[in-house]
Each structure stands twice: as C-alpha cells, then as structure tokens.
Structure 1
Amino acid sequence: MTTTLEQRLDAFRRLDDAKLTFARRDWFPGTSGNLSIKLTDQPLQFAVTASGKDKTKLSPEDYLVVDGDARPVEATSLKPSAETLIHAVVYKKFPQAGACFHVHTVWNNLISELYFGQRAFSIQGQELIKGLGIWEENARIAVPIVENFADIPKLAKAIEKVITPEIPGVLIRNHGIYAWGANDFEAKRHLESFEFLFEYHVRWLQLHQAAVPTA
C-alpha cells in the first residue's frame, strides 16, 4: 500500500500540533525528543521528526517518511531522528499503535534514575492512571525502565523485550519516555498521564522528606 501526498500532509499537520503542544511545556530541550505517526502497516511506513530540528518552530522540512527499518522511503536530504528505530519496534510489536511520542523532562529523568534498580516505576491508586485506559479501582501500574544504551539497535532490542500491551510506555534511564497509542490523540493522553504521575510522585517524595523530623 502506497501512501498518498494527502495522507502524508495530514500526518505532518498532526505532528505539528503535538510538537507545538509539547514544546510549550519545554518537553524538547536542546532539540531532543522525536514524534511519529504511522501511515501504513503493510509495508510499515510512518512519518517521523527529522533530526536536529528546533521543535519550538515549524518549517517545511520538519518530517519525513520512513519504513520499518527506519530508512527514508524516498530520496531526501533529511535524516530521521536518531532513535527512529525505537518507533519501528513499537509499531511492529503493537500493530494497533498509530502514534509514538518521545520527550525528555526533568520528572521522567528523575523517576528513571530513582527506580532503575527495580527496572520499573510502580504507582497505585492515582486517578490519572485512568488516562492510560486502566479503569480498575485502586489500579497499580509498573512502567518498565531500560538502560540508556548509546547503541540504538541495542537500545531498541532492550525496549522490545520489556514493553507490554498493558502499559503504553517505557522509560529510558536518564533519557526520557516513549509513549504510544492507537492514534495521536491517545498517545498524547498517555504521555500527559505518565508525566503527571511522575511529577506527582517526585513532589510527594520531596514533601514527605521535608516532613520527616530530624533526630
């Protein structure tokens, strides 16, 4: 199945919306982060952010289309984001996924470092867990955390081993989070829910520590 120009432009417009929303929250420091929206399953093709772009601005060369091996599907001077292979892993493992977003925040970095020894961050009973599509009472989630391997294929394989359909996200130690959903709306909701939970927990730890009396 070949994507049409109209499909591509629609995906680029939706990526613009997500990008500017997250940029206003300072979730792309130093041109970090990457976003993608799937176009087709057979063959796998998706629109993804180009490498090294200022994500607080819009330009005609912000995105390109790549295949399941993270290679551009047509000749272009643009390079896909360095971690595009991780998006491909998500789409291959979860065919129902239609968008995948990656951001760097202070909160997700702190959580990934604090709980790396447990290889997961667990939290229970928070209302925003429902934002992940988990509605059971007093639900508990465990977000997997992987080491921040510089070798991207190695990092992608580590992520592939730990991600599950139940939790639409994965943390990379001192790096950031990948979150996905059936479409860009759902992926955005999942990402926002994760970030709320991370910030809440770090702030709770800070308040709890401050309240503990010293001997």
Structure 2
Amino acid sequence: MWDELTEAKQLFSARHWFPGTSGNLSMKVAEEPLSFLVTASGKDKTKTTQEDYLLVNADSKPAYTTHLKPSAETMVHAEIYKKFKKAGAVFHVHTVYNNLISDLYYELGAVEIENIELIKAFNIWEEGAKIRVPIVRNYADIPLLTEEISKVLDERVPGVLIHNHGIYCWGNNAFEAKRHLEAFEFLFEYLYKRLLVS
C-alpha cells in the first residue's frame, strides 16, 4: 500500500495537482476496526521519504506513538470509508480546473455533466449518461466540512467538489480511485473549455 500511495503521489505531483503542500491521499488497511494510511501533514509531495504516511484509526488519530501529524482533512477520508465499506482508497487534489468548475457552478450546488465518453470511467454505461457532482462550501471547520460532505456522498458518483478548494474522490482500490480522479479532471477541463467557446 505504501508503494501504491507513493506511485499515485509521484504521478499527481508531476501533474502539479499538489500545489504547495496541498492535497492528501489514503488507502484503507483494515475495515474492522477501521484503519488507513494517510499522508502526513505539511510534507512536500514532490519528494519521497520514509515519513510520507502514517497509520490512523477511525477517529483520524495516529494508531501508534509518532511525531507525525495526519493530514488536516483526515476526518473526511474516515467518513468516506465509514460510508462506503467497499472504498479502499481516497484521493484529494487541488487543480485549477476543479477550482474553476466548483466556483462557476457553486450556486447550483452541483455540476451536471452529460453525454461525454469519460463518464464510463465511473462504470456508468448507458448512452447519453448524466452525472451530478455535488459542490459543498469550503468550511475551515473540518468537522463541519466533513458533515456537509457526508450529506451529499453518492455511491454512483465517487467524487465531491469543495468550493474553491479541490475534489475528493474514491474507489475500491488505488487503481480505481486514480481512474476516477483522472476522469473527473478531464471532464472539468473539457467543461470549462467548452464554456469558453460557447
């Protein structure tokens, strides 16, 4: 799991999806009791070290004594794992396009995307398929942010946008979470550029 997280971190970092020290990644280690690896807070994600991740429990606390702090938004990861038992990985990135789309559609509470091939990445195969990606307010209070995200989680659409912040997406494993994230980012970029030429 450590290697899978590192591979994802290096790939997303190369795409500039972790500006500053933003973003976080996790993978579930056990379901009962819940435990998962999550990125340590404040780390430069362009570098790889032996202290990039730590194991936390269902309360988002380190599972052992360590000087490392889990990412500030670890509680969101825990909520997704609790809500969706099959979820095995949760990825959170900050990109220009997911921020733009979250702002442009914020007042609607969601962005609807339809009839684009990449929707199939979410195992939605019907012709002319439509998805609705929810957008929540960017609360600085992480428990409140987690509560608002929990209200809009949809098993069919594995992603939630946070207004002017970023996206959380998940999958049954790291490969699936990566596929979902790449599809969302393609769709957001497509949608924004389509608006420019409308």
* TM-score class, shorter: over 0.9
Q: What amino acid sits opposite 2:83 in the alignment?
A: K
Post-superposition shift, 1:133?
A: 1.2
2:188 is aligned with 1:198: yes
Partner of 2:146: 156
Post-superposition shift, 1:87?
A: 0.1
Partner of 1:147: 137
Partner of 2:64: 74
Task: Output the CA distance in 2 between the equivalents of 1:106 and 1:168.
Answer: 20
Post-superposition shift, 1:196?
A: 0.2
Report the aligned-residue RMSD. 0.5
Post-superposition shift, 1:164?
A: 1.1
User: What TM-score, normalized to structure 2?
Assistant: 0.99
Post-superposition shift, 1:207?
A: 1.6
Post-superposition shift, 1:174?
A: 0.2
Partner of 1:33: 23
Partner of 1:211: none
Task: Output the CA distance in 2 between the equivalents of 1:149 and 1:133.
Answer: 31
Task: Output the CA distance in 1 between the equivalents of 2:128 and 2:7.
Answer: 33
Post-superposition shift, 1:157?
A: 0.3
SS at match of 1:30: coil
SS at match of 2:45: coil
Tell me, which stretches of 5 or more residues in structure 2 are unaligned? none
Partner of 1:46: 36
Post-superposition shift, 1:12?
A: 1.1
Task: Output the CA distance in 2 between the equivalents of 1:184 and 1:133.
Answer: 16
Q: What amino acid sits opposite 1:103 in the alignment?
A: V
2:144 is aligned with 1:165: no
SS at match of 2:140: coil
SS at match of 1:96: coil
SS at match of 1:196: helix
2:197 is aligned with 1:207: yes
2:53 is aligned with 1:63: yes
Task: Output the CA distance in 1 between the equivalents of 2:183 and 2:169.
Answer: 10
Partner of 1:120: 110
Per-residue CA distance 1:27-53 (angstroms, 9 max, x = gap): 000010000000000000000000000
Post-superposition shift, 1:132?
A: 1.2
Post-superposition shift, 1:194?
A: 0.3
Partner of 1:186: 176
Per-residue CA distance 1:112-136 (angstroms, 9 max, x = gap): 0000111000010000000111111
2:14 is aligned with 1:24: yes
2:77 is aligned with 1:87: yes
User: What TM-score, normalized to structure 1?
Assistant: 0.91
Asked which structure has the greater CA Rg, the reply is 1
SS at match of 1:31: coil
Aligned residues: 198
Q: What amino acid sits opposite 1:187 in the alignment?
A: A
